[in-house]
Amino acid sequence: MEIIFVLLAIIAVTAILLLFNKGKKTKKFKTPVLDHYDLKKITINHIDQMEDGSEFEMYLYQLLLELGYTGVYKTPGSRDFGADVVFTDREGFRNVIQAKRYSVGNRVGVDAVQQAFSSMRYYKAKKSMVITSSEFTDPCETLAGINHVKLLDRKDLEAIIKAFQQDDHTAIKNRIEAEPRMILETWSEMNDPVLRDIKKDYKAEKRVNELRKAK
């Protein structure tokens, strides 16, 4: 009988400890209603703790409005055709933004560039960019450079946050609107009568040649 009481006591204590630890877990940052929060209080740590990408999109949406940009709007949560936020820059050009709130170490790949670039025609935009709380892979950097897609990574985002806290809106706009890193050498070959192979599937080529010889 005593053994049973001891076991019941152990189970009860374990249950209490589990409930206590669950209550101590740090709650993730929840973006408050737009009318009730000060963007200057939002840090990169808050962004890291956001529950999903939609909160990051809302942050960028509000930030662009606070910066005084025109034509700012957030696209629907589904079927956005590759753009999360749209705005018109100081030159009057419409820009589309693909927002990627990724954890540090989880780098953004080429799909983000593909989404941003392909959405431009749908939104009648002149420029496209990807903004992330992380970094970009090398292939992503390359594809963005070839297609003139602007990339803003974690360091850029931290600089934007700091400048906003200091009311330096011009510095933020200059960073956002700066020309993207461009890779132009591939375009110089477009008029070459003999275009070189960029990247090919040699296994597929070998297989097709074997099939053709077997005919």
CA 176 to chain centre: 14
Binned at pLDDT 50, 70 and 90, residue 23 comes out as very low
Backbone angles phi and psi of 51, in degrees to 5: -75, -30
Backbone angles phi and psi of 108, in degrees to 5: -80, 135
Question: Which of 116, 117, 115, 72 has the alpha carbon at shortest distance from 90?
Answer: 72
Give pTM, 2 decimals: 0.75
Binned at pLDDT 50, 70 and 90, residue 90 comes out as very high
181, 159 contact by CB (below 8 A)? no
**83 or 183, which is more confident:** 83
pLDDT of residue 6: 47
CA angle, 128 then 131 then 136, to 5°: 105
pLDDT of residue 79: 82
HEC string for 165-193: HCCCHHHHHHHHHCCCCCCCCCHHHCCCC
pLDDT of residue 206: 73
13, 36 contact by CB (below 8 A)? no
Question: Which of 138, 139, 152 has the alpha carbon at shortest distance from 180?
Answer: 152
Residue 53: Cβ within 10 Å count: 15
Q: pLDDT tens digits, residue range 95-135?
A: 999 999 999 999 999 999 999 999 999 999 999 999 999 99
d(CA 91, CA 189): 31
